[in-house]
């Protein structure tokens, strides 16, 4: 295996991508784009051998008072951009702004292989467009999926296309990312005003109690939703025995959608708070993990081992609870496909639940990194 092969086979665990699309296109296709994003992330994970996260602005970075800041920060932190090309996307000021910012980021990195357009819905006049940004997209690693738009995710053709795109992303993401200075020389890309170790740990300590309380609040809100679902499901079953069962069931579903709205608002806000707090906690924990190999005293080494055990306990708890959360998300996905009455509010809930599910990647990363750090510390557990 040569050097390039080794680099491709061992990409960094810090890799991620950003998913640029239009929410209305996703809703029109009953959440198909969200499902494609999940499938692509899972395929990249399978090919690189560890969890890979693709940020979706309306799922991982929920709409709210800080949405614009979150999008900008995620683009800066991500290493690839997947663009779902549709007529709406090319008319969306915000989506085009996302793409333009990432193109500029590529220029700073002296790269042209970090943007992956998926041609999803026919765009009239696309080939003849004189828009520089559109031309930039069409010259990239273009994937034409128009004929696959209505294929289920179980379709062999669609799965092969997803695997091919994932392989292209793995190759590009495996290359080192460095910034280019004004003279053309490569320089380390580290912001001068980046917070130091003390600031990161202090912020993490402040965020942790809020973060844990948000987890409790999310669980309580999910219990409320389950209670509503159970009660309305019983009513729907009774309605099936009425003279006009379909009409009665539809009315119950309308009432159910109304019942869900307050919980959806609350769940979205909690999920946004959860994401914000997790980012702050992550920065501090990562800084602490990076300090472990330098531990020299017996007290520091013992503290490092206890810290490792705490992170493994946290990971086990989150992974253990993930099956129930995933089951709930899947139930929401199935329900929204059955009736348009519930679809808007269920899509909101499903995306909010995704925030919690996909954060498990962070907990797994902590556990893996702390194991490596304790090993580098050079002290056996015995």
For the stretch 209-233, pLDDT in tens is 887 888 788 888 888 888 888 898 8
Backbone φ and ψ for 84, nearest 5 degrees, come out as: -90, 105
Are residues 376 and 296 in contact, defined by beta-carbon separation less than 8 angstroms?
no
Are residues 362 and 281 in contact, defined by beta-carbon separation less than 8 angstroms?
no
Q: According to the model, what pLDDT value does residue 4 have? A: 44
**How many CA atoms lie less than 13 Å away from 277 in the CB half-sphere?**
19
Backbone φ and ψ for 141, nearest 5 degrees, come out as: -75, 75
**Left, alpha or beta for 96 (phi > 0: left; psi -120 to 50: alpha)?**
alpha
pTM equals: 0.60
The stretches in the chain having pLDDT less than 70 are 1-14, 57-78, 177-201, 378-382
Q: According to the model, what pLDDT value does residue 198 have? A: 66
Grouping H, G, I as helix, E, B as strand and the rest as coil, residue 195 is coil
Q: According to the model, what pLDDT value does residue 211 have? A: 76
**pLDDT tens string 239-254:** 999 989 999 988 998 9
CA dihedral 189, 191, 196, 200 (to 10 degrees): -90
- What count of residues does the chain have? 382
Rounded Cα distance, 148 and 165, in Å: 14
C-alpha separations of 24 from 30, 189, 261, 308, 361 in Å:
10, 36, 19, 43, 28
Q: According to the model, what pLDDT value does residue 195 have? A: 55
Q: According to the model, what pLDDT value does residue 311 have? A: 87
Residue 20 pairs with which residues in a beta bridge? Answer: 83
Q: According to the model, what pLDDT value does residue 123 have? A: 94
pLDDT cut 70: percent of the chain above it: 82
Contacts of 140 (CB under 8 A, 6+ apart): 112, 113, 115, 116, 117
H/E stretch holding 316 reads: helix 298-338
Nearest Cα to Cα of residue 126 among 89, 154, 151, 153:
89
Backbone φ and ψ for 78, nearest 5 degrees, come out as: -75, 160
């Amino acid at each position: 295996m040569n050097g390039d092969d080794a680099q491709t086979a061992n990409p960094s665990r810090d890799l991620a991508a950003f998913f640029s699309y239009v929410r209305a296109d996703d809703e029109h296709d009953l959440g198909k784009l969200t499902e494609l994003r999940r499938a692509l992330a899972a395929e990249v994970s399978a090919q690189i051998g560890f969890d890979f996260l693709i940020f979706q602005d309306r799922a991982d970075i929920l709409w709210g008072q800080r949405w614009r800041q979150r999008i900008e920060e995620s683009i800066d932190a991500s290493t690839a951009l997947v663009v779902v090309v549709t007529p709406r996307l090319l008319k969306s000021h915000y989506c085009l702004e996302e793409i333009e910012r990432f193109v500029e980021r590529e220029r700073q990195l002296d790269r042209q292989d970090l943007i992956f357009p998926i041609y999803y819905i026919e765009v009239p006049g696309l080939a003849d467009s004189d828009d520089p940004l559109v031309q930039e997209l069409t010259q990239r690693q273009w994937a034409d999926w128009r004929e696959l738009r209505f294929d289920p995710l179980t379709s062999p053709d669609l799965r092969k296309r997803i695997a091919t795109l994932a392989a292209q992303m793995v190759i590009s993401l495996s290359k080192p990312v460095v910034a280019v200075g004004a003279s053309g020389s490569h320089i380390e890309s580290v912001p001068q005003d980046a917070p130091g170790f003390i600031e990161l740990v202090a912020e993490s300590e402040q965020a942790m109690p809020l973060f844990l309380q948000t987890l409790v609040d999310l669980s309580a809100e999910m219990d409320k939703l389950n209670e509503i679902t159970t009660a309305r499901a019983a009513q729907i079953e009774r309605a099936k025995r009425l003279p006009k069962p379909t009409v009665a069931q539809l009315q119950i579903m309308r009432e159910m959608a109304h019942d869900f709205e307050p919980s959806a608002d609350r769940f979205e806000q909690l999920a946004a708070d959860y994401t914000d707090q997790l980012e702050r906690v992550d920065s501090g924990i990562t800084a602490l993990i990076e300090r472990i190999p330098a531990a020299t005293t017996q007290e520091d080494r013992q503290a490092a081992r206890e810290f490792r055990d705490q992170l493994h306990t946290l990971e086990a708890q989150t992974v253990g609870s993930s099956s129930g959360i995933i089951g709930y998300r899947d139930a929401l996905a199935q329900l929204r496909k059955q009736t348009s009455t519930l679809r808007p509010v269920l899509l909101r809930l499903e995306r909010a639940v995704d925030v919690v599910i996909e954060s498990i990647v962070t907990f797994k990363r902590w556990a893996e990194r702390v194991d490596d750090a304790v090993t580098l510390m050079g002290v056996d557990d015995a």
